[in-house]
Structure 1
């Protein structure tokens, strides 16, 4: 049920964003910023939701592969979106990083990049590299970092609602907040505190 609430919240938030994009005039390269950052937030959230059920065996392996692919796609979108807004400010001679949205967005992309690179290295690097840490502890570190990362992503998306671009082209901000609230309830409600401890309590812990 909570997963359905989160999915509906995603549809509401990003449906409203699509509405803004269709109404706003096209400005190159800036217009690529909300498009790519919207894709980044949507795909990253789907990647997190995918691993909320505690599945096992072949289904777990498939879920982890899709999870990594989705988050890699989200990172590529984030980098392009970051480039778009940076290039646009350079073109207009504006100051970089002078709003809370910019500060939090930069932190979100940085933490997300570290999280994705760490996950890929755990999946594809030689197993001996992380043997001393232990699979259970690595899984929990990755999971906690993932929740922190998605919190930063959605904090940035929340601040995006009050940007000048949204205010000029959309006057129903409550729709964004409704979507944000539903995603928050759907994500937080599925967090199992027992899966967040960073110390290994038993060998039965699975990713």
Structure 2
């Protein structure tokens, strides 16, 4: 999730320091590599947890953390495919790249939101309680530390989606 957050922040319009120091094509490459790497590591991590639970005879996907994580993994497939289509836009001769980009941003933001919810819910798991010695301070520290970067990463695409949807409906009324 850390890499996926970095991937979103790499193209975030509100990340002004990064935007001043880099070019757009480089930011897109960083976005592509970090999101792809994050998805790969998330898939491997989920497989490891699944195999470990299978060996221990424990049930799977019983917590909200696990369910939202599974939803995030599955729902990340369409934005990954859309991202690849946008990456090879010219080679694929896509007629409406703006529509593909809109679907990419919409599906990617919703998938990231599920992943973010899973990440935030991880502080409610039995594993986290055991590792933090059931400390209330560590619980709040973990929750707050995870909340701010994730919310900041979601903010940029959410504003963009709102503006695109708003402009779409205002153009329709003008006709």
- TM-score normalised according to structure 2 size: 0.78
User: RMSD of the alignment, in Å?
Assistant: 2.6
Structure (1 or 2) with the greater helix fraction: 2
User: 1:104 Cα deviation (Å)?
Assistant: 1.0
User: 1:180 Cα deviation (Å)?
Assistant: 3.2
1:46 to 1:80, Cα distance in 2 relative to 1, 3 A? same
Corresponding residue number in structure 2 for 1:166: 128
Corresponding residue number in structure 2 for 1:11: none
User: 1:160 Cα deviation (Å)?
Assistant: 0.7
Higher relative contact order (CA 8 A, sep 6+): 1
**Superposed CA offset, 1:7-36 (max 9, x none):** xxxxxxxxxxxxxxxxxxxxxxxxxxxxxx
Structure 1 position 46 matched with structure 2 position 12: no
**Superposed CA offset, 1:128-183 (max 9, x none):** 3x31xx11121111111121111111100011111111000112100122123322
Corresponding residue number in structure 2 for 1:66: 30
1:145 to 1:48, Cα distance in 2 relative to 1, 3 A? same
Match of 2:141 among 152, 175, 182: 175
Give 4+ residue runs of structure 1 displaced > 2 Å after superposition.
124-128, 183-193, 195-202
Corresponding residue number in structure 2 for 1:143: 105
Residue pair 2:82, 2:100 contacting (<8 A) in 1 also: no
Pairs aligned (count): 158
**Superposed CA offset, 1:70-115 (max 9, x none):** 1110111011101111000110111122222211110111112332
Residue pair 1:43, 1:70 contacting (<8 A) in 2 also: yes
Residue pair 1:137, 1:200 contacting (<8 A) in 2 also: no
